A and B are shown apart, each in its own frame.
Chain A
Amino acid sequence: MKPAPFEYVRPSSVAEAVATLEAHGGMARVLAGGQSLVPMLGMRLMRPSAVVDINGLDAELGQIEARGAETTIGALVRYSEAEASPVIAERLPLLRTAIRYIGDRQVRNRGTLCGAVAQSDPTGEVALVALTLGATVVAQGPGGVRELAADGFFVGSYANALAPEEMITGLRFGVVPARGAFFERGRKHNDFALLSLAVAATPEPDGSWRDVRVGMGGINDTPVLARAAAARLEGQRWDEAALAEAAQLALEDADPPEDVRASAEYRAHLLPIHLRRLLLSLVEEPRHG
């Protein structure tokens, strides 16, 4: 057994889970899918005083809810469930596409989308899509429910705006642009991304595009929006020159890390090439996700 000792707590409600997090003064961690937390316990990168296993709270946290224009994914929804969900396929095809790049079948059978948001891995696919599509993180803490925009939620590598005694209860999406596409390049299949990109936009009858979103992962210490690139494309027809310029502008919002997987230079090299191609794919075929 490799983890440091911890108290194992199985709450019977979200309120009880939050009370436990509060009682441990921020030293407890929530266990949902455990696909990131359990390895980190084993490596002793985390030594929580308690592990709060929320897997029994399926009635409160296990649903994908479509209400009006909004789609809310509960904290216990596994990747495999979202992957197979007709609601996700219809409303959030970009998210569905991105999920296929996450882990492998076994990991997707256990891992949760909200867990990925809480983990705030700079290369995380769910975090990138949530940011790109302007999702809202719903959290509960001792003070009640808080809603946090994904834009601003990710504050650093594996760091986010949650308070230590808060837990995520859901991830909510509103209306999303009509078209979206996702790209990821890693050293090998299922590895952390060197670069991941999510783009979304709605074509107008006159050939221009509105509501343009460009998100980038693996290129900063958090997923980031390529705001300059999106602004260049908003309301415009996407001709070759516009796409090429937008692809270069994306570098303004990138500060690529240098690590064992790739040099900063290589990441910066990949970014405009693949962003241009991905944007072009939105123009060329009406693909969804």
Chain B
Amino acid sequence: MDELATEELVEITVTVNGTVHRERVSPRMHAADFLRQRLGLTGTHIGCEQGVCGMCTVLLDGEAVKGCLLLAPQLDGRELRTVESLAQGGELAPLQQAFKDCGGLQCGFCTPGFLMTATALRESGRRLDREQIREELSGVLCRCTGYDGILTAVDRVLNGEQR
């Protein structure tokens, strides 16, 4: 570990779920590790750590990005939102409730990634059909549900019950 003794840390100021944090980070640390290890926000999961599985999806200034492909120093001056920001006062957000109602999760490991990707989609205000939603969500992998419940949940929140 001697090589690390000389490593220069980078000071960052980042807003996470509305709270401002000032931290000194290693440039080698990625954003998902930063959230979990430094801030204790373990709702953001880590799967492949190479940008394939989408488990670590968070919102960077409102855009869905993969936390493992972002170095912690890059968070300086930015705003992050994680799955912990969704439920308010113990009340599930509409997307979370829809996932619950539609069988949009089983083991739950991928759920934060889907919820944050879908949150960005919902906030974009774009009108999307089911196939377009499928395409937009394709950057998060699920090994339990077969995706159908997830699609139904997101479709329901984006487009309303009647569809």
Contact = CB atoms under 8 A, between A and B. Distances in A.
Interface in B3-48: 3-4, 6-8, 10, 26-30, 33
B68 A106 contact: no
A190 B138 contact: yes
Given A5-B4, A6-B27, A42-B49, A109 B64 contact: yes
A3 interface: yes
Contacts, number: 88
Interface string A19-52: 0000000000001001100110111000000010
B103 interface: no
Chain A interface: which size bin?
20 to 34
A51 B27 contact: yes
A107 interface: yes
Interface residues of B, number: 34
B68 A38 contact: yes
Interface in A61-111: 80, 103-107, 109-110
B139 A1 contact: no
Determine which residue in A7, A10, A38, A43 has the highest number of CB atoms from chain B within 10 A of its CB, and name it. A38
Given A42-B49, A51-B27, A107 B7 contact: no
A182 to B, nearest CB: 16
A43 B27 contact: no
Contact of B50 (A6, A31, A42, A53): A42
| A41, A42, A103, A105 pick with most chain B CB within 10 angstroms | A105
Nearest to A50: B27
A7 B112 CA distance: 32
A2 interface: yes
Contacts of B51: 35, 38-39, 107
B139 A39 contact: no
Given A35-B51, A38-B71, A42-B49, A106 B65 contact: yes
Given A39-B50, A42-B49, A190-B138, A109 B29 contact: no
Interface of B: 3-4, 6-8, 10, 26-30, 33, 49-51, 54, 57, 60, 63-66, 68-71, 73-74, 117, 120, 136-139
Interface of A: 1-8, 10, 31, 34-35, 38-39, 41-43, 51, 53, 55, 80, 103-107, 109-110, 189-190
13 contacts: A4-B3, A6-B28, A31-B71, A34-B70, A38-B70, A39-B51, A39-B69, A42-B68, A53-B71, A55-B74, A80-B63, A105-B137, A189-B138
